[in-house]
Homo-oligomer: A and B are copies of this chain.
Amino acid sequence: MFCSLSRLYRGLSRPTRRTTQLIWSSFSRSLVLSSQRRIPELSSFVARTNTCGELRSSHLGQEVTLCGWIQYRRQNIFLVLRDFHGLVQVIIPQDESAASVKKILCEAPMESVVQVSGTVISRPPGQENPKMPTGEIEIKVKTAKLLNSCKKLPFEIKDFVKKTEALRLRYRYLDLRGVQMQYNLRLRSQMVMKMREYLCNLHGFVDIETPTLFKRTPGGAKEFVIPSREPGKFYSLPQSPQQFKQLLMVGGLDRYFQVARCYRDEGSRPDRQPEFTQIDIEMSFVEQTGIQSLIEGLLQYSWPSDRDPVVVPFPSMTFAEALASYGTDKPDTRFGMKIVDISDMFRNTEVGFLQDALSKPQGTIKAICIPEGEKYLKRKDIESIRKFAADHFNQCSLLGKLRLECADLLEARGVVLRDPALFSFLWVVDFPLFFPKEENPEELETAHHPFTAPHPSDIHHLYTEPQKVRSQHYDLVLNGSEIGGGSIRIHDAELQHYILATVLKEDVKLLSHLLQALDYGAPPHGGIAIGLDRLMCLVTGAPSIRDVIAFPKSFQGHDLMSNAPDSIPPEELKPYHIQVSWPTDSETKRVH
């Protein structure tokens, strides 16, 4: 795979996968990006005058000092130097008087770090390289310094070199030198910066850090625990700053946001990380539409300028409609192929299994129409659809999965259903407030979290038929992935107590501070959290969220570079009054 890191500091255009040669950034040092945005100084405070990637014909004749990695050397005459910003060709001097410079540049192994000083000159006619942003010039070197020599690498720093993910994670510091990771991390930094500008500078939000050493929340079975120096007392790493942001509203902070580190211990789950980041937002005196407009503006403002602009407002769909038409609460609305209820067509059918289905309470017959399916799908495709349906039989999400499966099949046959350049945002609203518990459907559990406010039109059901109550929760869906969710919260202590104690049967003692806070002049409030890792994954088109995180854990939760988690000598556990309960042999066998 080849990439171009073009205009990273201007238009943030993304690496295209089509270019057939490694092309680095074109970059102009003009001071003004747009009417307001200055291009950052990339060589302030350091031992270079310029970056490798920025040099152009306009620099001809300038004396420059560059620092970078040796990417490539040819015939001991040409050397290509690389920094984060691009590549530049350096001419190794051949005359006797420069023997020491030649020696340094010819003997240094690839990926060694050097500093060179010299003059920017034109390439001889015919030797320009139009595929290289610096391809019109080269550097006539006068002095060179070996800053660090490189040993034999476990893999080459070239994007076309295929590496296993385990190898990439083990040598993450080498993997980060590649164009795609540089692009992903820099784009992430810049999008978050623009989100901050929108929230802080345009709308007066206050960036407030909340603690991560907190206390177990009710039902917080996925929270990491941290022993304290008091025997038997533990902190927990919270799954979100939910309680704190509500308490900030009670504290009159009015508009809070935080790029918040959150923690969730889900064991081994692919494409999940034990720590992750969310754009966490809460506002007082707000309703659902207010939060939605805020987020639409936020994404519009921070969206990379080389993509199609984000169109607002986003369409909205009820939970019921999403389930009925797409078989999921996170529909991919880039394509149609909706689920259609065709029960009426079969009211008088004599086909036995259809009769059976319709005779059941709420029994229906539903279908997905695959446009030109006859033309594109082969017999074995139909077979695989049939098998897929049989494998997922009796799962209520079957039709939603089947729709995506059919889309995969069509795309494998060359039909473009889901344009990768298309970003299709959708609000899903009017979720149920409670779901019946899977293990005991007589009892209810909260659909999202216990602080979600009931829908005002359904509040009368709460005390009689709580399962009928819809909530003021909203999810933000992008291309079939949930990238955010939030709600208007309960600000009435009595209502909160009723839902916790009577409906959910939770131990209210664990939340007594929050209940008390609601009694002391809590304003109406609501908020949302956007999953930053998932969002960046979709924006960059990365195959995994590990590609938009500098140092991710493997899907077993390991840091393959440093080998974390690791053993700790028992004496270092002593101050925390804990000891390891080693599993017995039989338990170990059961685990593995």
By beta carbon, the residue of chain B nearest A523 is B113
- A93 at interface by CB-CB < 8 Å: no
How many copies of this protein are present in the complex? Answer: 2
- Evaluate contact between B582 and A520: CB separation under 8 angstroms: no
CB-contact partner of A567 in B229, B233, B565, B572, under 8 A: B233
| Residue from A115, A210, A225, A290 whose CB has the most chain B CB atoms within 10 Å | A225
- A504 at interface by CB-CB < 8 Å: no
- A61 at interface by CB-CB < 8 Å: no
- Evaluate contact between B524 and A204: CB separation under 8 angstroms: no
Q: Which residues of chain B are near A568, meaning CB under 8 Å?
A: 216, 225, 232, 234
- Evaluate contact between B189 and A521: CB separation under 8 angstroms: no
- A192 at interface by CB-CB < 8 Å: yes
Q: Which residues of chain B are near A226, meaning CB under 8 Å?
A: 224-226, 237, 565
- A353 at interface by CB-CB < 8 Å: no
Give the shortest distance, in Å, between A356 (CB) and chain B (any CB).
43
B-contacting 9-mer, from A17-25, A37-45, A395-403: A37-45
B-contacting 9-mer, from A302-310, A404-412, A473-481, A545-553: A545-553
CB-contact partner of A176 in B232, B243, B251, B580, under 8 A: B251
- Evaluate contact between A215 and B291: CB separation under 8 angstroms: no
- Evaluate contact between B559 and A211: CB separation under 8 angstroms: yes
- Evaluate contact between A565 and B173: CB separation under 8 angstroms: no
- Evaluate contact between B231 and A84: CB separation under 8 angstroms: no
- Evaluate contact between A582 and B573: CB separation under 8 angstroms: no
Cα of A591 to Cα of B326 in the assembled complex, Å = 62
Give the shortest distance, in Å, between A291 (CB) and chain B (any CB).
7
> What's the tally of chain A residues with a CB closer than 8 Å to chain B?
135
Q: Give the contacts of A571-589 with B (CB-CB under 8 A).
A: 572-574, 576-583
- Evaluate contact between B578 and A69: CB separation under 8 angstroms: no
- A206 at interface by CB-CB < 8 Å: yes
Give the shortest distance, in Å, between A530 (CB) and chain B (any CB).
15
By beta carbon, the residue of chain B nearest A514 is B562
Q: Give the contacts of A112-134 with B (CB-CB under 8 A).
A: 112-113, 115
- A283 at interface by CB-CB < 8 Å: yes
- Evaluate contact between B233 and A565: CB separation under 8 angstroms: yes
Q: Which residues of chain B are near A176, meaning CB under 8 Å?
A: 248, 251-253
B-contacting 9-mer, from A143-151, A343-351, A416-424, A460-468: A143-151
- A566 at interface by CB-CB < 8 Å: yes
CB-contact partner of A581 in B204, B524, B577, under 8 A: B577
Q: Which residues of chain B are near A491, meaning CB under 8 Å?
A: 147-148
Q: Which residues of chain B are near A172, meaning CB under 8 Å?
A: 247, 251
Cα of A8 to Cα of B291 in the assembled complex, Å = 24
B-contacting 9-mer, from A193-201, A317-325, A332-340, A362-370: A193-201
- Evaluate contact between A564 and B37: CB separation under 8 angstroms: no
Q: Which residues of chain B are near A492, meaning CB under 8 Å?
A: 148
- Evaluate contact between B182 and A233: CB separation under 8 angstroms: no
- Evaluate contact between B215 and A189: CB separation under 8 angstroms: no
- Evaluate contact between B251 and A173: CB separation under 8 angstroms: yes
Give the shortest distance, in Å, between A189 (CB) and chain B (any CB).
4
Binary flags per residue of A33-70, CB closer than 8 Å to B gives 1, else 0: 00011101110111110000000000000000001010
Q: Which residues of chain B are near A174, meaning CB under 8 Å?
A: 250-251, 520
Cα of A206 to Cα of B187 in the assembled complex, Å = 9
Known: A46-B286, A233-B566. 14 other contacts (CB 8 A): A47-B524, A113-B522, A147-B523, A147-B524, A185-B206, A190-B200, A213-B559, A213-B565, A215-B559, A226-B226, A233-B565, A244-B551, A574-B581, A577-B582
